Homo-oligomer: A and B are copies of this chain.
């Protein structure tokens, strides 16, 4: 209760069940949460239970669910399992949600994260009924101390008719002051420049404004973030990391960047952590990060003193990482800045800063088009997230992946991408454990030669070369030779036989 500074609001404390009862069938609900942190953990399971009961009684009850990005099992997992979600945006990585989406049971709109807040404000998605936001605390004036992610919370709080808060005592009160909530955005024609010129500039305030009259309920919790265990770095990831560090060293030698590089953006996952580990062991000094998620590797890099600061919209730590983060909080406070996704992913800022962007992929085709989302062109993995915001506006955009998936049965380098998230114009460097293809300045056919030679797995290299040679001889045009009769046949073979390799 002492986390609720605003006296009058103490009266709105209620149980998770009571709070869940404030949500009506058909409501559009904006919840906090970004990569498994800062999402509400008590109300969603209570809502799922309520919806389960309604369904058992033969009543229709589903909601439209908006978040910052992915959340945790208590939110996407519980609600998906209860068939409670009719519509979902902008990102999901929950396995239960994914399964329902891929069975066609949830309408899923996979969006550029930088588009979400503006388009909601512009009214393109209709009205937001309820916001359910996890916070660290409520101040005396009713303003809210954000939790371990910011995401779209500012927008949900401002746009929703009513706001329900989860005040989570698991979050250290010293988080206060780490956030940078920028209130300078507007709708056109009233937009102005975002006054940021360095990755670690602070341009906003440390709390969310919130009209106490809109707060319909408050639930007190003490529950940990998702905090997925960390997997040790494997050889393939280490090889990719080594290639990237070598390449960046080359760029520094060419005089294109200083020893501090340019602000780093890195996706989540094994390869990303390996790259951060590689940078920690490199000779670079005075680096900064401008990214969406702060993972364990970033903590190591901060601890090493080589990374001066990290701007992010969310923490995404392992359980050990979270422990370290709380233990070292007095140190991290000045180095870590948590921003709204509207700013962390803003094309204006990313292009101005000249971010070095490194993201994972599902597959790349020989011309350098990237599929980040849809396995075999149809089955969603997670979503595009912020990868498009970063890749198109980056100073250098890297896409990385092992050269094969599923024990070698899938080549991640294919004749034609079965779906495209990042067009070849947005991709400067592709890296697999086989090698690095520097695509800058290369026309499509030169790209194909580089990608096949450098990135493809030996099991698939000859097949790609053979396809490319035949396309060059017989395609409808030779700017980007493709044979539509067989450019997706590798995917088709996998669907039919479970292996892209001819039987």
Which A residues are closer than 8 A to B by beta carbons?
A: 87, 101-104, 107-112, 115, 119, 122-126, 187-189, 191-195, 197-198, 254, 256, 262, 346-348, 351-354, 369, 374-380, 384, 388, 392-393, 395, 416, 418-421, 423, 425-426, 428, 440-443, 445-446, 471-472, 475-482, 484-485, 487-489, 491-492, 495
Q: Can you report 13 A-B residue pairs in the complex whose CB atoms are below 8 A from each other?
A: A102-B477, A110-B425, A122-B395, A123-B254, A123-B256, A124-B440, A187-B354, A189-B354, A193-B352, A347-B392, A377-B484, A377-B487, A379-B479
Question: Judging by beta carbons under 8 Å apart, are A476 and B488 in contact?
Answer: no
Residue of B nearest to A346 (CB): B351
B348 touches A419 (CB 8 A): no
Is B87's CB under 8 angstroms from A480's CB?
no
A189 CB to nearest B CB, Å:
6
Q: A-B pairs with the 8 shortest C-beta distances?
A: A379-B477, A188-B354, A193-B193, A104-B478, A484-B488, A420-B420, A380-B479, A378-B477
Contact assessment for B378 and A101 in the assembled complex, using a CB-CB cutoff below 8 Å: no
Specify which chain B residues have a CB less than 8 angstroms from the CB of A369 in the assembled complex: 420
Residues in chain B near residue A476, CB distance under 8 A: 375-379, 495
Query: Does B484 lie within 8 Å of A376, measured CB to CB?
Result: yes
Q: Which residue of B262, B377, B478, B485 is within 8 Å of A480 (Cβ)?
A: B377
- Report the minimal beta-carbon distance from A427 to chain B, rounded to whole angstroms: 12
B353-A188 in contact (CB<8A): yes
> What is the minimal beta-carbon distance from A5 to any residue of chain B, in angstroms?
36
Q: Is the CB of A443 within 8 A of B109?
A: yes
Assess A477 versus B375: contact at CB under 8 Å? Given A384-B425, A495-B484. Answer: yes
User: Given contacts A425-B112, A476-B495, are A482 and B418 in contact (CB under 8 A)?
Assistant: yes
**Contact A380 B480, CB 8 Å, known A110-B425, A441-B126:** yes
Chain B residues with Cβ under 8 A from A395's Cβ?
Answer: 122, 188
A372 to chain B, nearest CB (A): 10
Kindly provide the distance from the CB of A386 to the nearest chain B CB, expressed in whole angstroms: 12
User: Whole-angstrom distance from the CB of A321 to the nearest CB of chain B?
Assistant: 29
Choice from B351, B441, B475 contacting A109 with Cβ under 8 Å:
B441
For residue A490, which residue of chain B has the nearest CB? B484
Q: Give Cα A481–Cα B112 distance, bound, in whole angstroms.
A: 21
Can you name 6 extra interface pairs (CB under 8 A) apart from A379-B477, A488-B488? Answer: A102-B477, A103-B478, A104-B478, A122-B395, A193-B193, A374-B480
Given A375-B476, A377-B487, A425-B112: A188 in contact with B393 (beta carbons within 8 A):
no
Give Cα A443–Cα B383 distance, bound, in whole angstroms: 12
Residue of B nearest to A124 (CB): B440
Contact call B441/A124, Cβ cutoff below 8 A: yes
Inter-chain CA distance A489–B489, complex, in Å, is 12
User: Which chain B residue lies CB-closest to A195?
Assistant: B193
Q: For A443, give its contact among B108, B197, B377, B419 (CB under 8 Å).
A: B108
- Whether the Cβ atoms of A479 and B378 lie closer than 8 Å is yes
